[in-house]
Chains A and B, each alone.
Chain A
């Protein structure tokens, strides 16, 4: 089964607001990935993190690799309507190539 716990499960925000979400694990991960999925489409890779403590930005998105290597955070600043979708955290499980995913965070942005 899945090992990643994402919170919150959903958020409703106004356009222009910032949003934060996090992902925790009971085991250590060496890589954290954040994906966004639109309805009926596959996940799109947003940010990849490889080092504990690493902070990486991609436009209005900023993600951090937790210092314990058991968590990661994603922030979206100044949200816009096209940010709507489901955000997933993921990481390779136990030295394997397979990714395990969180259950996702559904973001709704009200214009």
Chain B
């Protein structure tokens, strides 16, 4: 049973460049979430998908950010024209819709550094 995987684990980029991150959820999970975490803080919600539909986006997700989940399996998060303030850990989580709800399982994260 494999957990949530993310690629790459680390990314260093220059300001103004575009970056794309990938997340593979737990195979039977139909919900997929993206969070951002800065130093000393808890994760903050960015967006989530149920199957291929993007159902909610945070105000944190500026126009430079776009997320997709084209076939309802893996997801990508793209940041265009990166800024230094984008430096953070980007976390992906997945869950299975059920009566209890709530339990989200996180991947190892992608650490982005914008120089």
Q: Are B33 and A45 closer than 8 Å at their CB atoms?
A: no
With most chain B CB atoms within 10 A of its CB, the pick from A33, A42, A96, A104 is A42
Q: C-beta contact mask, A73-111 vs B, less than 8 Å → 1, else 0?
A: 000000000000000101110001111111110000000
Residues of B within 8 A of A35 (CB): 106
With A31-B102, A48-B102 in contact, do A42 and B111 touch (Cβ < 8 Å)?
A: no
Residues of B within 8 A of A102 (CB): 42
Q: Are A33 and B45 closer than 8 Å at their CB atoms?
A: no
Q: Are B108 and A42 closer than 8 Å at their CB atoms?
A: yes
Q: C-beta contact mask, B92-104 vs A, less than 8 Å → 1, else 0?
A: 0100000011111
Q: C-beta contact mask, A38-62 vs B, less than 8 Å → 1, else 0?
A: 0011111100101000000000000
Q: Are A41 and B108 closer than 8 Å at their CB atoms?
A: yes
Q: A100 vs B48: C-alpha distance in the bound complex, in angstroms?
A: 14
B64 to chain A, nearest CB (A): 20
Residues of A within 8 A of B55 (CB): 97
- Give residues 1-40 of A contacting B (CB, 8 Å): 2, 4, 30-31, 33, 35, 40
Shortest beta-carbon contacts, A-B, top 9: A101-B42, A42-B106, A31-B102, A98-B45, A42-B109, A43-B106, A42-B108, A48-B103, A88-B42
